[in-house]
Structure formats: structure tokens, C-alpha cells
Chain A
Amino acid sequence: MKRAALIFCASVIGLFAAGCGEKSPSTIKVGLIAELTGDMPAVGESCKKAARLAVKEINDAGGLAKGDRRYKMELFIEDNAGKADQSASAAQKLITQQKVVAIIGPNATRYAIPASEIAESSRCLLITPWSTNPKTTLNAKTNAPKKYVFRACFTDPFQGRVLARFAMDRLKAKKAAVLYDVASDYNKGIAEFFKETFERNGGKVAAFETYTTNDRDFSAQLTKIKRAEPEVIFLPNYYSEVPLQIEQAKRLGLKVPFLGSDSWGSQELIKLCGRDCEGYYFSTHYAPDTAAPAALKFIRAFTASYGSMPDDVAALTYDSFGLLRQAIDEADKIDRTAVRNALARTQKYEGVTGDMQFKEGSSDPIKSAVILQIKDGKFVYYSDANP
């Protein structure tokens, strides 16, 4: 009896038994680690909704085929409670107890890093949808890319480079000015990569000015920027500070376009800016009003299921599942390493957040960002942006 139960369990766990060629139905197990409680429940909620939608769509379409067999995808959701230690223990649990093939999440860098350490040492594939910090996919000791950790979003250095190209190619600027918060890693990183790319391509960053978090008076820096006569001003800062910077610049008589990064992408920006931010541009992961067929299909399905528009976290989570599905399709067998190898060689994946490609030797996708423009108080798609 005991023995029979064991055999039964083994065939339900399925995944690894599948190789034995049994005919019993089995599933492919996937784990999700999301910030469901804690300081960013909105992020976790978006992530969970998109994950459920993605898995439902895969299973409704008949599941995944491998050889002459079909598998349903089974989703295990873990809450990391907005804590680094719980992110690590959630990864541990999914890998050792649930024996998942792959983990999607966590989203924020400070939770993605501890979970990714566990995944890397256990040789289990992990895809973070939203963590843009370069450190997430790099080994802290060797600085080489982690082998089992990938992301579905672009990185901060990429964003800095993309915006520099956009300023030069689309806005035809040869002379730029930057004002950024020197006390914040995110702002500082993007500002420096922007400057590097802008100058390497023959442009001039005529003013590279800083402030520290909570400053409200930028008049001295902006006066200095005005004297440098830039053709574009780059503000890679958070949405609560950008409106003050733009308003003070306008009061000083600066009339050039302003450019921002994905930290601008909150509806709060428009509330705080009033009409002052009209017509300006920023880069982000995806445009809800885009006409790309993959994105339209996702937006319709998400809105129909949940009654709200998907944000960038939702779009990136959905793409993480899409990437995983494609990797499972291409893998020669279903185990962690085979799926990881297939993902690392992804030639083309057509996602909600654009086309992606992976090359062996890097854990970050090659993909484009989108540039949005603020028009009549809305974020409107303007163009794709490539480095």
C-alpha cells in the first residue's frame, strides 16, 4: 500500500518521471515569488494577476507539448512579504519542496537579488520581470553573469544609453544638460550612462549638475544649465521632484524639451505637473496604447479578466511566462538545465513589451524600450528606442 502510494506520488510529480515515458498525465511546475504584502502590494498584485492569466492561457490552449505528450502548467504562488529573507526562503521552498522547473519573480531588485542567489546555487532557472539593476543578474564575486538568472526587462545602463541616442537622433540635440539626484543609485547610474553615450557619439554634455534627495530649490543649478545653452535637459529623477525642476526651469526662461526615465511613469507626475510637463518624453517598458498585436491581445485579456489596465509589472510578468513557455517548447527535454539552455539561446520572442533576444554569455535580454510623450495629460506612445 505504502509502495503504491509512493509510485502514485512520483507519477503526479510527473516532471522528472516524464522522462521514463509513462503515459500518465503530468504537469510542469512553475513557481512565482511576488510582493503580495509589505511595502509594495500593488506590484505583487499586478504580478500575480498577470501570472494567473498567462498560465490560464497556456492551459486553455492545451498546455505544452513535448515529444508526443502534453503537459499542463501548474503555478505555485509564494508571497515574499516585501522582505529579502522571505524572498530567499520562498525560492528555497519552491526549489526543494515543490520541485519547480523555473521561478518567476521577485520584482524589486532588493528582493530579486537574494532569491536569485538561491536559484543560482541550486541551478534552477529564475526570471525576474521588473528588476532593472545590473547587479541582479551578476555574480557579486566574479562580476560575471549568473548562469541561471535572467530578466525580462531592460537594465538601467541600457536606459541611459537609449535616451542619449533618442536625444541625438530624434530631438537632434548636440548639446545636453543633466540634473540628477546624486544621493540615489538609480538616478546617478542612468545619468552617467547617458553622459557617456552622448559624448561618445560626438555630443556635448554642457552641464552635469546634481542635488540631493529632498532639495526643493534647483535655481542655482538651473541657472548654470541655462548659461550652458543646452538643446535638451535630461532629468532621470522621481516623479515627485520632476515637476518642481521643470517649473523652476521654465520660470528661468528655459524653453528646451525635457527628457526623463521610467521613474516618470506614474499618473502622479501628471497630477503634480499640471500642464507644465506637456509635450515632454520619457522611456519606459511598454506603452498601453501601442498597436502591436501581442500587446493588444494581452491588454484585452487582462482588462476583460480584471477590469483594469495592466501596468508595466503586469506586462513584464506576462512576458516572463511567455519567454519560459517558448524555452520549454524549444528545450530537448524538460528539466531545469535544458530549459535554461533553451532560454539562453532565445533567438526571438515577440512579447508585450517588444521583441526580445538572448545571447549566451549575458542574462539580460536584447530588447527595445519605448518612448512615451505626455500629451493632454496622458502618456502616449511616441517611438521605440534602441541603443
Chain B
Amino acid sequence: MTYLLQQALNALQLGSIYALIALGYTMVYGILTMINFAHGDLFMVGAFLCFISVLLLKLSFVPTLLVSMLGTALLGVTIERLAYKPLRRAPRVSAIITALGVGLFLENFTLALSPYPKHIPSAIPNVTWIVGGVSISSLQIVVIALSLVLMVLLDLVVRRTMVGIGTSLGGVAGVLYGLAYPVIDPYMGIVVGWKAFISAVVGGIGNIRGAMIGGYILGAVEILVVVFLPSTYRDFVAFTMLLVLLVFRPYGILGKPAVQKV
């Protein structure tokens, strides 16, 4: 029983991070109706801003979070102005290719500055409590609680969003991820970005609650596969399940069929 509770906690932590990144995809989609494939790399930039703030500027957790949010928000707005806006009337494929290009630029720009993996020192006192046999760390609590608070706030307050808010969520996720998994490198955003994108699609792209649900579902499925099956099957089983779900609900769990303009 404690084993399952521990795994549930693991799933909650992983799911929170997927959900936060998935929200970024969904919110940018809500405004621009395009998939911002550079979002995973914005998330990476968020983690590097966290590294700079904690190690070089010696900031504590809250200022670090603000620096990262502000940095990624500004970056998101700049990218939108420079790369996406000029293509608003271009075919959709052009916008997607541009987004991929922006992602590659961010990766290689970071690579040019620092090719080696970096270690982020802990900005939160690292304490582990044992509650009824389950290990709970201070980091886990911060990751899960902060994600939930942000999501509830967004859900209550935001009716019309801005690109900057979407990308700054990527920044928050970058900071939380960087603290939870403190070895970062310029390619860290690729796989996590894909997974969060899939979460957003499963939940229903463009739908805020859908992105949250999608993130938690993916986190839970990934952990559950390891609990009940050999860990080698993890990605294979997780993504097959998500594909099957999409067969039955092609617009995602909370998504609605888009009205095609003729």
C-alpha cells in the first residue's frame, strides 16, 4: 500500500510538470491557432535562466521563479513578433516549420554558450519526510502545490490570454523541472516537449482544463506501466494507450470538433 502511495506521489509530480508545459502549448494555440513547437525549448531556456539565477546571481527560489517567468515571457513575445506574426497569412505549414526553426535556434544558441550539462544547486532546502512509510520531499511539495495553484488561478482568471503568459508557464515548468531533476542540457526540452504536446492533444488542444487532465494522465500512465509491467515497456505501452484514446476521441478528452471554414 505504501508502495502504491509512493508511486501515486511520483505520478503527481511528473504529471504536474507535463501539465504545466502542456498548458503553454494549449494557451499559445488558443491565440495563434498554431502549435508552438519551440515551446519545449522555451522550457529549456527557463531551466537555464534558473541555473543562472541560482548559481550566478545567488537568488532564492521566488526571485528565481520571477526572473525565469519574465525572461521566457519576453522571449515568447519577441519570437511571436519576429517569427510568427509576419507569417500570419502564410500557409499553416510555414508557421509550423518556423516554430521548429526557432526551437533549433534556441537549442544551438544555448549549445554555443554552454555545451556541457550543468548542475543546478538546490534553491529550496532539501528535506525528506517519511509519512506512513512514504517519502515526501520538500521539492515534491513545491512542484505539486505550485503547479496546482497556478492552474487553478489560470482556470479562474484567464478568459483571454496572451502569448507571454503561455510561454512564461514554460519558464515556471523549466524552473521546477530544473530543481526536481537538477542536471540540465540544451537538448532537455525536446523529449519533455513532445510528451507535453501529446498531453495537450489528449486533453483537447486549446482547452485549459484539458491540458491539465492530459498532463496528469500521461504522468500517471507512465508511472503505472512501470508499477505493473517491466520498465522496458514504459514508452511503448504509454503511447499506445494514448493513441487508442485518440482513436475514440480524436479531438481529445475535452476538445470540441473545430468548425471548418469553407
Interfacial residues, chain A to chain B (CB-CB below 8 A): 182, 209-212, 214-217, 219-221, 223-224, 226-227, 240-241, 243-244, 247-248, 251-253, 268, 271-274
Known: A219-B223, A223-B7. Contact between A252 and B135, CB under 8 A? Answer: yes
**Cβ-defined contact, A244 with B231, below 8 A:** no
Known: A210-B230, A220-B226. Contact between A247 and B182, CB under 8 A? Answer: yes
Interfacial residues, chain B to chain A (CB-CB below 8 A): 3, 6-7, 10-11, 13-14, 116-119, 121, 126, 128, 130, 135, 137, 139, 177, 181-183, 185, 187-188, 190-192, 222-223, 226-227, 230-232, 234-235
Q: Which residues of B contact A209 (CB under 8 A)?
A: 226, 231
Q: How far is the CA of A295 from the CA of B19 in the complex (A)?
A: 55
11 A-B pairs in the complex with CB atoms less than 8 angstroms apart: A210-B230, A215-B191, A216-B181, A217-B14, A217-B181, A217-B222, A241-B183, A251-B137, A268-B116, A272-B119, A274-B121
Interface residue from A219, A223, A224, A272 paired with B183 (Cβ < 8 Å): A272
Interface residue from A215, A248, A252, A268 paired with B6 (Cβ < 8 Å): A252
Beyond A215-B191, A252-B6: 9 further Cβ-contacts under 8 Å? A209-B231, A219-B223, A220-B231, A223-B10, A240-B185, A243-B182, A251-B128, A251-B137, A251-B139
Which 10 A-B pairs give the minimum distances between C-beta atoms? A220-B226, A219-B10, A216-B181, A220-B223, A253-B135, A272-B119, A240-B117, A209-B231, A210-B232, A251-B137
Q: Which residues of B contact A240 (CB under 8 A)?
A: 117, 183, 185
- Which residue from chain A places its CB closest to the CB of B222 in the assembled complex? A220
Main secondary structure on B side of the interface with A: helix
**Cβ-defined contact, A243 with B121, below 8 A:** no
Known: A212-B235, A219-B14. Contact between A253 and B130, CB under 8 A? Answer: yes
CB distance from B126 to the nearest CB of A (A): 8
Q: How far is the CA of A3 from the CA of B137 in the complex (A)?
A: 86
**Cβ-defined contact, B183 with A182, below 8 A:** no
CB distance from B120 to the nearest CB of A (A): 10
Q: Which residues of B contact A211 (CB under 8 A)?
A: 231, 234
Interface residue from B119, B135, B188, B231 paired with A224 (Cβ < 8 Å): B231
**Cβ-defined contact, A271 with B231, below 8 A:** no
Q: Which residues of A contact B11 (CB under 8 A)?
A: 220
CB distance from B186 to the nearest CB of A (A): 12
Q: How far is the CA of A245 from the CA of B158 in the complex (A)?
A: 38
CB distance from B161 to the nearest CB of A (A): 28
Q: How far is the CA of A274 from the CA of B183 in the complex (A)?
A: 11
**Cβ-defined contact, B232 with A224, below 8 A:** no
**Cβ-defined contact, A216 with B188, below 8 A:** yes
Interface residue from A243, A251, A252 paired with B119 (Cβ < 8 Å): A243
Q: How far is the CA of A243 from the CA of B117 in the complex (A)?
A: 11
Interface residue from B126, B128, B190, B227 paired with A220 (Cβ < 8 Å): B227
CB distance from A333 to the nearest CB of B (A): 51
Q: Which residues of A contact B119 (CB under 8 A)?
A: 243, 271-274
**Cβ-defined contact, B7 with A220, below 8 A:** yes
- Which residue from chain A places its CB closest to the CB of B126 in the assembled complex? A251
Q: How far is the CA of A139 from the CA of B222 in the complex (A)?
A: 41
**Cβ-defined contact, A268 with B231, below 8 A:** no
Q: How far is the CA of A319 from the CA of B160 in the complex (A)?
A: 70
Interface residue from A210, A248, A253, A268 paired with B117 (Cβ < 8 Å): A268
- Which residue from chain A places its CB closest to the CB of B2 in the assembled complex? A227
**Cβ-defined contact, B235 with A244, below 8 A:** no
**Cβ-defined contact, A223 with B3, below 8 A:** yes
